[in-house]
Amino acid sequence: MAIANYAGKYSGTLSGAANGVWEFTVDTSGGISGFASYNGETFTLNNGSVADDGSFAARELNAVALVTGFGVLFPFAMSGTINLAKRTITDGKWGDYYNYASWDLPFQVSKFSPTIGGTGNLPPYVASAMSDLNWNEKQSLTYTVPAGTFVDPENKALSYSAKLSSGSSLPSWLKFNSSTRVFSGTAPAGSGDYTIRVTAKDTGGLSTYDDVVFYTPAAPTNRPPIVASAMQDQNWIEGQSLTYTVPAGTFSDPDGNTLSYSAKLSGGSSLPSWLKFNSSTRVFSGKAPVGSGDYTIRVTAKDAGGLSTYDDVVFYTVSANRAPVVASAMQDQNWIEGQALTYIVPAGTFSDPEGNTLSYSAKLSSGSSLPSWLKFNNATRLFSGTAPAGSKDYTIRVTATDTGGLSRYDDVVFYTVAASRAPTLAMPS
C-alpha cells in the first residue's frame, strides 16, 4: 500500500543536529484492521545522514522484529525523505513534525515515537519557571536565578547570560553575574518594568531561555523616625569626668531604616568645648569645669531618606560636694562641779552648702575621748553629765560631717567651776 505525503507529529527528545542510528517504534493503534500485531515493534533507520536543518534521507528501513500474521519476516523498502523541523512545546521538551512520501508498506503507520540511539546532544530545558518580582525604585536589591530553573538532560554544565527579551542589553543600573546567577542594582526613580530573558546554554552549544518580569514600582513613602522613649535629664557634676549614653530605644523608625545621630545645643549652637558626642556609640563624655551652667542638649536621629526627629535632654551642671561650714560658733559654757547639767549644740551651728544631711561627733580638741563623766548623743547633739569635784576645764571639739564625707568642726570650752559653799560663822575669841 502506498501512502503519499502523509503528515503527522511525534514527541520526544530527538536532536536534528546529530548523526547516528535512530529507532522508531510503530504504532498501529489507529491503522487498518488486521495489522494490530505490528503495534510496538521497532525499526532501525541505518545510514541516516542528518543535515543542519534537521532533515535526513533514509535509504533503507529494515524490519528487525516485524512479523506478519503468518510468522514470515517481511522486509520492505522505502523511498522519499523524512523532514524534521524542531519545535518547542510547553513542557520544555522538543516536539518534531515530520512528513514523508511514498511508503511501500503492508500496513498503515499512524505515528512514530523516536528514541535516540546515536550520539545526539539534547538541549537544556526549563524545569521550573522563574516568578516575576518587584524591584522597588531607589532600593539596592538582588535576585538570584534559582538553581533548579534550568536542567540539562545529560547533566552537562550550563552557562548563563541575560538580556532584555527584545535582545537589548540590560539597563545600566542592573548587573548580572553569570557565575553566581545574581542580578543586582538600584532602580532609579521612574524606571519602567523590564522583561528579562535568562538563557542557559550547554557545552554543546544548545540553549533554552526563561523570561522573568522585573516590576519597578515607586519606593514606599518614607516616614520620619519617632521618639519612642524620651531621655531623662541628667546631673553633670563639676570637675568630674562623666559619660552618658543615649538609650538604644530612645528613637525608632517606622520603616525599619538605620538611624544616624548628631547632637547640638537646643538653640542650634555647638556643644561646649568640654562636652563631646560620639555619633556612632551615642555616648556623651566630658568634665564640666567649675562654674558651668546648665545645658539643654538636642539629640537628632535621621533615617537613610533624610527625615529626622529630635529629643532634648537637660544636663544640669551641679557643684562638686563642699564641706559644711560653721554658721554660728558655739559659746563657751560653765560646767559646775557636782551638778548634773546638759548642753545642746545649737541647730544653726553648722550648715551644708548643698543642703546635705549632717552627722555629729565630739571629742577633746586634742583628739582624745571625752572624760568618762561627759556623754554626747550624736543624734540629738546633747552633752550631759556631772563634773566631779576638782575637774579641770575641757576644750570640746564638735565635728559635723556631710553625706559625702566632708566635715567641719567648732570648739567649745567647758569650764568646770566649784559649786558655791555657804559662809562659815567665826566665833569671837
For residue 386, is it within any domain? yes
Mark whether 205 and 289 lie in a shared domain: no
Averaged pLDDT, 26-37: 37
The last residue of one of the domains, among 215, 238, 273, is 215
Task: Give the CATH number for residue 308.
Answer: 2.60.40.10
Of 89, 96, 132, 101, give the one whose Cα is nearest residue 11.
96
**280 domain residue, yes or no:** yes
Q: 329 and 295, same structural domain?
A: no
pLDDT digits (tens, 9 = 90+) for 104-114: 333 333 333 33
Distance CA 291, CA 251 (A): 32
pLDDT at position 426: 52
The per-residue pLDDT for 140 is 83
152 and 72 part of one domain: no
Q: How far apart are CA 325 and CA 323, in angstroms?
A: 6
Residue range(s) defining the domain that contains residue 200: 125-215
Confidence grade of residue 382 (pLDDT, cut at 50, 70, 90): very high
pTM equals: 0.36
Residues 20 and 102 placed together within one structural domain of the fold:
yes
Question: Are 129 and 175 in a shared domain?
Answer: yes
| Residue 429: inside a domain | no
pLDDT digits 0-9 by tens, 138-148: 788 899 999 99
Is the pLDDT confidence value at 197 over 90? yes
Whether residues 284 and 368 fall in one domain: no
Q: Do residues 10 and 60 both lie within one domain?
A: yes
Domain contains 307: yes
27 lies in some domain: yes
pLDDT over 70 for what percent of the chain? 69
- Checking if the pLDDT of 269 tops 60, the result is yes
- Kindly state whether residues 358 and 390 are assigned to the same domain: yes
> Residue 429: pLDDT band by 50, 70, 90 thresholds?
low
Q: Count Cα atoms within 13 angstroms, Cβ side, for 270.
A: 5
pLDDT tens-digit profile of 208-255? 999 999 988 766 678 899 999 999 999 988 888 899 999 999 999 988
Q: How many domains does the chain have?
A: 4
SS3 content of the chain, % helix, strand, coil (to 5): 0, 45, 55
pLDDT digits (tens, 9 = 90+) for 312-363: 999 998 877 888 999 999 999 999 999 999 999 999 999 998 788 999 999 9
Task: Give yes or no: residues 41 and 72 share one domain.
Answer: yes
Assess whether 203 and 274 both reside in one domain. no
Q: Is residue 257 in a domain?
A: yes
Cell numbers placing 151 = 536542567
- Is residue 159 domain-resident? yes
